[in-house]
């Protein structure tokens, strides 16, 4: 039966099967059947056939039957017609209805008629399933038919009679049905009318407004909070009195109570007469009809019934308690709402002190005690153990479910669960903070955070009215007709926001939307600031996730993720601001106590978190900070390798955690560094200076001496004449015997000018001269003296210079300046002695030559290298200065190599340069270490501090004295130099000092100043009174190696 029409047929067939069997008719049939049963079975079969045929052949009857059907079906038919229209004339309507129905049926029956002659087959074909039983029946009948053979005529006769009977019966039936239908119409006709009216008509509302004909409404005083109860009891009374003789005359009763309504304490009763009300409410509890009744003005009636949306409490919502007083202001969560909507079952954190104070609220005599005022016990989840300890009698419960009753209160999972009247709750502006809410969730037995953010959001949204929407906020409408609209707020007035729509179909339009349905809209990656009541207030961050109105952001300061409501956010500029509290801001260095400093690693609203120098973090109030240490940009420290570190350098911890970071503060021996590697303490860690090593200095500086402009690297003037300003002058040597003492001098100035004398004693500036001419000792400024050879009487220039300790400002100076050779010489002892030594010697040529070596050896020449090397080797900065030590510079003291050529002495000073032919010698000089070693080896004066320098050993200086070489020119020196240091100084050395006169000639004045200078010494004053020291010093001195090179 795939065809729906077929299905209809089946249906109608069924209908037909039972419809024509009203009680009366079936009675007839049964009667008839009974009659015919006695005689023959065949009529029954005919009967059944006729029954089948009947509907088709008698359309009229069919109508009746329909009528009948309608009547029988009662409600159903009513409904059908009722739905039809509200016309008064049911008959008419019914006719129409029937016509339609009739038509429908006719169609169906026509169809069936077509099959009638071959009924069995057709039935079979048409409704195989349905007629299987019928078929079986038919077969039975047919079989029964066959045995009795009445012949064709008999059969026709019987058929006719049956038809007659059928018709007759139908007619009777029809009349019955008509009557019945009429009675039904009588019975239900008007009702149908009423229903039709109520169901379908659309009556303009204004026509429904109450008029003077309608009952009036009276307001009746009742007990506050009992409004609903009273109304319930009125309805109950109405039901009781219903149908009795004293039915209540009131038509309606209602209340507009509620905790915040101004109509509380009143119920409203609708009745025609005031007395009805008095009667109805007589003797009822909590209602006072005897007081003045308020007649409600007709005009006000509709307003009284206007539906006002009351804030609905849903399970899970957050409320605040007003009562019990102990819990006033506490947050509670709605668990359930009673049916009457008056009580709410809430769950909150108890404040119990377990009998420390008597909590029962009653005295022994049962009187209610005045509640003790005082500090509330702290909020704490109910503890069964505590209760059992203190007050076991009042405790009952089930440890399995963790439900306890204590002092009449019920505790579930530690929370106090209580029914509280709505009016004792604050429902709006709850503003639960996340901390409070978290306390509720953390109590969950599994400890899993299951904050119902939805209900939280709902609670918060109530207080949304105060949410600040500001012009230019991008907002989204999430509720109401304009849902989904996105726009930019242009104007905000009270709780109406005017938006300029930016997206979608409405783009460009301006609409007004209440804030209730609005939320701010952000996009991933937006830089936002938390505002409003969230505990993350003032945090800045970037949005990483948005779901509905919950936004997750990554905070700038701590790189942690927090989730807040979009209403608590504002777009911030893309510039990261760092938190600050008062004068203290993130990463400031503050003094906590006289011995402790700390770096601020977190700024909260009221407190700071500080990482102190010991690596501990502590939370402090701003008032606990002694003072803020200004940032010292120029702070310098030395790391573990001695390199200098400054703020903003990148360092790495040596050992420990090996953290690497940028220095933000240096305080005494502590460095506070910032790293991106970790988010702990905002990436700040503290370390000791001595346990970090520099990785890269800011701006590529490698130990630049100062942070000012580096004048050395670029200043052309310095490049031209690079006198190393870093070079340390040789230590002043103020001790030792002045060489001048005992010398023969002439006085050049003053009253004694021209007189010859002998120096008896000296001070720094003056000499006491014993005149030869006159036995008198006079004091003369040293500068006015001219030293002469005691034998030849020749002038010895620069003699004073032997005294190395002479400060630059000594009177000798002017003289030195005057003489070009001196110029270098004067400096030589101090800075670049060896380098210059040859220089000044050169010009002096033969004249002063004799002296040169002398002073070179005795004074500085000898020492210079010694000091250069010696002092440097021990210098802590050695590493960094190594460059100086390199061959070219060592002898020169300050890049002597480079200077030498400048002075055009290149050829003469090959030894200095460490270059040139005498590479060996140069090498020896080049690296101090070998030098130092070799110098020491001579053992000339191993014990002496100066001893390790051969020069010193050779010199005749006071401190050099111990060295054997001091006394003799040839003998000691070679020993000192050659013997121990052949490797270092190379073979040539021996040649150097020894040659004596030989090399004197060999060396031109210009070609080898030193030797030239040296030459005279041995030659001239081999046994001279100062001859001895000079050669000694000289040989020991650098020159030795130098000219070996040349050789």
Partner 1 sequence: MFFLYNLERRVTLHPSYFGKNMHELVTGKLLKDVEGTCTGSYYIISIMDTFDISEGRILPGSGLAEFTVGYRAVVWRPFKGETVDAVVVSVNQHGFFAEAGPLRIFVSTHLIPQDIKWDPNATPPQFTNNEDTTIEVGTHVRVKILGTRAEVGELWAIGSIKEDYLGTLQV
Residues that bind partner 1 (CB under 8 A): 524-527, 542-545, 552, 554, 556, 559-561, 574-576, 676-677, 679, 699-700, 709, 711, 714-717
Nearer to partner 1, 3 or 574 (CB): 574
Q: What's the min distance (Å) between Cβ of 672 and partner 1? A: 16
Q: What's the min distance (Å) between Cβ of 634 and partner 1? A: 18
Distance of CA 507 to the CA centre of its chain: 35
- 591 phi/psi in degrees, rounded to 5: -90, 120
What is residue 268's three-state secondary structure? strand
8 Å CB contact between 934 and 873: no
Nearer to partner 1, 345 or 718 (CB): 718
> How is residue 981 written in tokens?
């240091």
Nearer to partner 1, 576 or 987 (CB): 576
8 Å CB contact between 489 and 589: no
Q: For residue 290, how many other CB atoms are within 10 A of its CB?
A: 11
Nearer to partner 1, 389 or 676 (CB): 676
Give, as one character, the DSSP assignment of residue 110: H
| Residue 403: C-alpha distances to residues 318, 398, 414, 564 (Å) | 22, 6, 8, 34
What is residue 219's three-state secondary structure? strand
What is residue 826's three-state secondary structure? helix
> How is residue 204 written in tokens?
């303009």
- 272 phi/psi in degrees, rounded to 5: -75, -35
Q: Is the peptide bond before 965 cis (omega within 30 degrees of 0)?
A: no
Q: For residue 984, how many other CB atoms are within 10 A of its CB?
A: 24
d(CA 826, CA 810): 11
d(CA 617, CA 518): 42
Distance of CA 328 to the CA centre of its chain: 35
Q: What's the min distance (Å) between Cβ of 350 and partner 1? A: 37
What is residue 893's three-state secondary structure? coil
Distance of CA 888 to the CA centre of its chain: 59
d(CA 607, CA 538): 13
- 783 phi/psi in degrees, rounded to 5: -65, -20
The DSSP H or E segment spanning 336 is strand 331-337
d(CA 646, CA 671): 9
Torsion angle of C-alpha atoms 1005, 1010, 1013, 1016, degrees rounded to 10: -100
Nearer to partner 1, 294 or 711 (CB): 711
Give, as one character, the DSSP assignment of residue 151: H
Q: What's the min distance (Å) between Cβ of 554 and partner 1? A: 6
Q: For 621-750, where are the E strands, in sequence order?
A: 627-629, 637-638, 644-645, 650-653, 660-667, 670-674, 684-688, 692-696, 744-747
Nearer to partner 1, 447 or 699 (CB): 699
Nearer to partner 1, 291 or 677 (CB): 677
- 34 phi/psi in degrees, rounded to 5: -60, -45
Nearer to partner 1, 149 or 574 (CB): 574
Q: What's the min distance (Å) between Cβ of 648 and partner 1? A: 9
Query: How, if at all, do strands 343-348 and 395-398 pair?
Result: unpaired
Q: What's the min distance (Å) between Cβ of 470 and partner 1? A: 21
| 353 Cβ neighbours under 8 A, 6+ residues apart | 359, 377
The DSSP H or E segment spanning 999 is helix 997-1002
Nearer to partner 1, 541 or 838 (CB): 541
Nearer to partner 1, 445 or 574 (CB): 574
Q: What's the min distance (Å) between Cβ of 752 and partner 1? A: 49
Q: What is the sign of the dihedral through the CA atoms of 168, 170, 175 and 176?
A: positive
- 687 phi/psi in degrees, rounded to 5: -150, 165
Q: What's the min distance (Å) between Cβ of 679 and partner 1? A: 8
Closest C-alpha among 223, 256, 308, 259 to residue 425: 259
Given strand 660-667, what is the order of strands in its sheet? 684-688, 670-674, 660-667, 650-653, 692-696
d(CA 957, CA 833): 16
Nearer to partner 1, 339 or 574 (CB): 574
Q: For residue 843, how many other CB atoms are within 10 A of its CB?
A: 16
d(CA 223, CA 208): 32
Q: What's the min distance (Å) between Cβ of 646 and partner 1? A: 16
Q: For residue 812, how many other CB atoms are within 10 A of its CB?
A: 24
Q: What's the min distance (Å) between Cβ of 562 and partner 1? A: 11
Nearer to partner 1, 133 or 574 (CB): 574
Q: What's the min distance (Å) between Cβ of 907 and partner 1? A: 32
Q: What's the min distance (Å) between Cβ of 442 and partner 1? A: 21
Q: What's the min distance (Å) between Cβ of 685 and partner 1? A: 15
Nearer to partner 1, 715 or 779 (CB): 715
> How is residue 515 written in tokens?
């804030």
Q: What's the min distance (Å) between Cβ of 1045 and partner 1? A: 38
Q: What's the min distance (Å) between Cβ of 682 and partner 1? A: 12
Q: What's the min distance (Å) between Cβ of 545 and partner 1? A: 4
Nearer to partner 1, 588 or 960 (CB): 588
Partners of 336 in beta bridges: 345
Nearer to partner 1, 494 or 575 (CB): 575
- 729 phi/psi in degrees, rounded to 5: -70, 155
Q: What's the min distance (Å) between Cβ of 846 and partner 1? A: 43
Nearer to partner 1, 236 or 725 (CB): 725
Closest C-alpha among 581, 670, 658 to residue 632: 670
Q: What's the min distance (Å) between Cβ of 717 and partner 1? A: 7
Nearer to partner 1, 563 or 907 (CB): 563
Nearer to partner 1, 283 or 525 (CB): 525
> How is residue 548 written in tokens?
């509905």
């Amino acid at each position: 039966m795939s065809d729906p029409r077929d299905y209809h047929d089946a249906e109608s067939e069924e209908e037909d099967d039972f419809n024509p069997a009203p009680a009366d008719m079936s009675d007839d049939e049964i009667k008839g059947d009974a009659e015919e049963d006695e005689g023959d079975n065949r009529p029954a079969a005919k009967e059944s056939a006729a029954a089948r045929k009947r509907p088709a052949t008698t359309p009229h009857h069919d109508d009746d039957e329909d009528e009948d059907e309608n009547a029988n079906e009662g409600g159903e038919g009513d409904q059908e017609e009722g739905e039809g229209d509200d016309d008064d004339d049911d008959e008419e309507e019914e006719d129409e209805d029937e016509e339609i129905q009739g038509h429908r049926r006719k169609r169906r029956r026509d169809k069936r008629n077509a099959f009638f002659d071959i009924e069995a087959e057709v039935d079979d074909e048409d409704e195989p399933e349905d007629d299987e039983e019928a078929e079986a029946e038919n077969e039975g009948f047919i079989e029964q038919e066959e045995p009795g053979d009445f012949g064709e005529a008999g059969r026709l006769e019987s058929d006719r009679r049956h038809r007659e009977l059928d018709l007759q019966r139908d007619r009777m039936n029809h009349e019955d049905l008509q009557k019945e239908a009429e009675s039904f119409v009588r019975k239900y006709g008007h009702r149908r009318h009423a229903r039709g009216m109520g169901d379908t008509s659309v009556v303009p509302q204004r026509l429904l407004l109450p008029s003077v004909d309608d009952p009036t409404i009276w307001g009746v005083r009742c007990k506050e909070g009992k409004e609903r109860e009273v109304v319930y009891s009125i309805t109950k009374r109405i039901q009781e009195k219903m149908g009795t003789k004293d039915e209540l005359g009131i038509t309606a009763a209602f209340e507009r109570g509620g905790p915040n309504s101004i109509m509380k304490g009143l119920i409203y009763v609708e009745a025609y007469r005031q007395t009805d009300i008095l009667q109805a409410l007589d003797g009822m509890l909590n209602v006072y009809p005897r007081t003045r009744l308020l007649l409600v003005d007709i005009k006000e009636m509709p307003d009284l019934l206007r539906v006002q949306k009351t804030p609905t409490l849903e399970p899970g919502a957050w409320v605040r308690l007003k009562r019990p007083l102990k819990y006033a202001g506490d947050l509670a969560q709605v668990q359930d709402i009673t049916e009457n909507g008056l009580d709410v079952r809430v769950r909150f954190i108890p404040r119990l002190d377990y009998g420390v104070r008597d909590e029962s609220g009653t005295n022994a005599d049962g009187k209610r005690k005045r509640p003790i005022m005082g500090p509330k016990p702290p909020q704490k989840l109910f503890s069964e153990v505590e209760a059992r300890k203190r007050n076991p009698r009042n405790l009952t419960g089930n440890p399995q479910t963790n439900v306890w009753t204590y002092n009449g209160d019920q505790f579930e999972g530690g929370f106090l669960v209580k029914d509280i009247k709505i009016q004792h709750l604050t429902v709006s502006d709850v503003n639960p903070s996340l901390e409070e809410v978290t306390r509720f969730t953390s109590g969950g037995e599994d400890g899993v955070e299951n904050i119902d953010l939805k209900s939280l959001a709902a609670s918060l949204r109530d207080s949304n009215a105060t949410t600040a929407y500001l012009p230019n906020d991008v907002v989204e409408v999430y509720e109401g007709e304009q849902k989904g609209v996105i726009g930019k707020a242009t104007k905000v007035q009270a709780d109406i926001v005017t938006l300029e729509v930016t997206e979608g179909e409405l783009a460009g339009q301006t609409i007004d939307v209440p804030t209730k349905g609005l939320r701010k809209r952000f996009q991933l990656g937006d830089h936002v600031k938390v505002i409003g009541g969230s505990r993350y207030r003032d945090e800045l961050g970037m949005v990483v996730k948005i779901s509905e109105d919950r936004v997750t952001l990554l905070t700038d300061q701590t790189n942690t993720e927090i989730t807040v409501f979009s209403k608590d956010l504002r777009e911030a500029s893309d510039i990261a601001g760092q938190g600050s509290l008062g004068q203290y801001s993130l990463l400031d260095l503050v003094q906590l106590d006289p011995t402790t400093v700390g770096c601020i690693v977190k700024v909260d609203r009221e407190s700071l978190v500080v990482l102190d120098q010991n690596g501990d973090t502590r939370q402090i109030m701003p008032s606990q900070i002694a003072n803020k240490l200004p940032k010292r940009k120029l702070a310098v420290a030395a790391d573990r390798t001695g390199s200098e570190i400054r703020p903003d350098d990148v360092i790495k911890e040596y050992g420990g955690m090996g953290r690497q970071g940028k220095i933000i503060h240096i305080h005494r021996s502590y460095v506070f560094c910032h790293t991106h590697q970790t988010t702990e303490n905002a990436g700040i860690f503290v370390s000791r200076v001595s346990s970090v090593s520099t990785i890269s200095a800011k701006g590529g500086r490698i130990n630049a001496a100062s942070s000012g402009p580096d004048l050395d690297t670029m200043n052309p003037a310095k490049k031209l004449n690079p006198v190393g300003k870093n070079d340390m002058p040789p230590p002043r040597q103020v001790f030792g015997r002045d060489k001048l003492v005992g010398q023969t001098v002439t006085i050049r100035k003053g009253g004694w000018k021209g007189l010859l004398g002998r120096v008896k004693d000296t001070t720094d500036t003056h000499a006491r001269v014993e005149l030869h001419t006159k036995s008198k000792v006079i004091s003369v400024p040293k500068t006015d003296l001219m030293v002469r050879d005691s034998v030849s009487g020749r002038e010895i220039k620069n003699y004073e210079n032997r005294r190395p300790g002479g400060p630059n400002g000594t009177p000798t100076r002017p003289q030195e300046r005057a003489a070009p050779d001196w110029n270098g010489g004067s400096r030589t002892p101090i800075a670049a002695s060896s380098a210059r030594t040859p220089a000044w010697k050169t010009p002096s040529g033969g004249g002063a030559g004799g002296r040169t070596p002398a002073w070179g050896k005795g004074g500085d020449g000898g020492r210079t290298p010694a000091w250069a090397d010696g002092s440097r080797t021990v210098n802590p900065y050695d590493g960094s200065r190594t460059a100086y030590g390199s061959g070219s510079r060592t002898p020169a003291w300050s890049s002597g190599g480079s200077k030498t050529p400048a002075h055009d002495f290149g050829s003469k000073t090959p030894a200095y340069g460490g270059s040139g032919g005498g590479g060996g010698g140069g090498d020896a000089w080049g690296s101090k270490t070998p030098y130092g070693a070799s110098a020491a080896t001579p053992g000339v004066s191993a014990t002496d501090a100066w001893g390790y320098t051969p020069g010193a050993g050779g010199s005749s200086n006071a401190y050099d004295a111990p060295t054997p070489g001091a006394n003799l020119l040839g003998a000691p020196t070679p020993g000192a130099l050659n013997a121990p240091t052949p490797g270092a100084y190379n073979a040539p050395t021996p040649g150097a000092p020894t040659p004596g006169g030989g090399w004197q000639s060999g060396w031109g004045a210009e070609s080898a100043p030193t030797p030239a200078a040296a030459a005279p010494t041995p030659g001239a004053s081999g046994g001279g009174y100062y001859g001895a020291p000079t050669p000694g010093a000289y040989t020991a001195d650098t020159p030795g190696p130098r000219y070996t090179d040349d050789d």
